Amino acid sequence: MKNFISLLAAFVLLSVISVEAAAAAPIEITAALLEKTMASATQTQANRIHSLQDELLTLQKQEQDWDTTIALQHNQNKEAQAALSQQAKEIDKPQLAKLEEDVLQTRERYKPLLSRYTALNKQIETVRPLKNKSLNTLLRLQAAALKIPVQLARADIQAKEKVRQAAKEQSSKAAKKVRSLLDDLDPVNAQIKAKQSAVKSSRKSLSPLWSGFKKSAKQGDAIGVQSTLSSMVSLLRQINEEKQRIFKLETNVRDKLAAIKKDT
């Protein structure tokens, strides 16, 4: 089971990284694309465009690093949460199995005695209408002889059943506590999803800016190039800040999972 979970997590991790890489495909600004713009730009504009271009490349690299880091932590969290969820289902499982076996063995051991006692009492009821005093007396004496052993047997069975039931309740309580602690992670995971949605929305806004940039570059419009490039840099900076927050939330989940594991 553990190996299966690890393999599953690895597969999911590769999938997530691939999706992230596709979503954050880098914007490539070639010298040829900017040739006309740089020819018409002032020195100040050219310097600013180069500076923004360098910053754009840096931000894109940072975003790719965040994607990989977040994906790794997210899938480690998923694996840890799955392991804890499985662990909650198996709390005291060997002990409960042993107690169940004890109850079954005890019942089996006393089964002949209890069956004999039940049969004698049925016989007593059966012969009562016959008014056979000697037979009735004999059966009652046999039943009386078994009464105390039967009481002790039933007490032994009940004692083992109580121990088993107490262990079951304790195990159930412990499992419920783990599940409750895991459920407490839901609000954090909801925040992560909300921020991921915000990032996705922000990335969609890059597309029209990139189109505007290419249009301005083809026209040799230095002001338009600088403006759209500045907007893309600003948007990527916001995206990276949001992904940094996502990673912080993922580490929050990681720490909470570690605390749950420590307490179980």
Indicate whether 204 and 86 sit together in one domain.
yes
- What is the torsional sign of CA 52, 56, 57, 62? positive
Indicate whether 253 and 126 sit together in one domain.
no
Lowest mean pLDDT among 6-15, 158-167, 190-199, 251-260: 6-15
Structure tokens at 174: 């412990």
Final residue in a domain of this structure, among 178, 194, 211 = 178
pTM: 0.74
More confident position, 134 or 2: 134
Q: How many domains does the chain have?
A: 2
pLDDT at 60: 96
153: pLDDT strictly greater than 50? yes
| pLDDT tens-place string over residues 113-122 | 999 999 999 9
Quick check: 143 and 117 in contact, CB under 8 A?
yes
pLDDT at 24: 54
Indicate whether 6 and 85 sit together in one domain.
yes
pLDDT at 264: 76
Indicate whether 209 and 154 sit together in one domain.
no
Indicate whether 102 and 166 sit together in one domain.
yes
What does the DSSP 8-state code read for residue 128?
G
CA distance 173 to 171: 5
**Which range of residues forms the domain containing residue 213?**
2-91+183-263
All residues at 6 or more sequence positions from 225 whose CB lies less than 8 Å from its CB, including other chains: 34, 37, 41, 49, 213, 216, 217
Indicate whether 6 and 87 sit together in one domain.
yes
Indicate whether 148 and 193 sit together in one domain.
no
Indicate whether 104 and 80 sit together in one domain.
no
Indicate whether 85 and 190 sit together in one domain.
yes
247: pLDDT strictly greater than 70? yes
234: pLDDT strictly greater than 90? yes
Structure tokens at 81: 């949460």
Indicate whether 114 and 132 sit together in one domain.
yes
Final residue in a domain of this structure, among 143, 178, 213 = 178
Per-residue pLDDT averaged across 175-198, rounded? 95
Indicate whether 127 and 172 sit together in one domain.
yes
Counting DSSP H helices and E strands in the chain, the numbers are 7, 0
Final residue in a domain of this structure, among 131, 146, 178 = 178
Indicate whether 76 and 189 sit together in one domain.
yes
The band of 12, judged by pLDDT with boundaries at 50, 70 and 90, is: very low
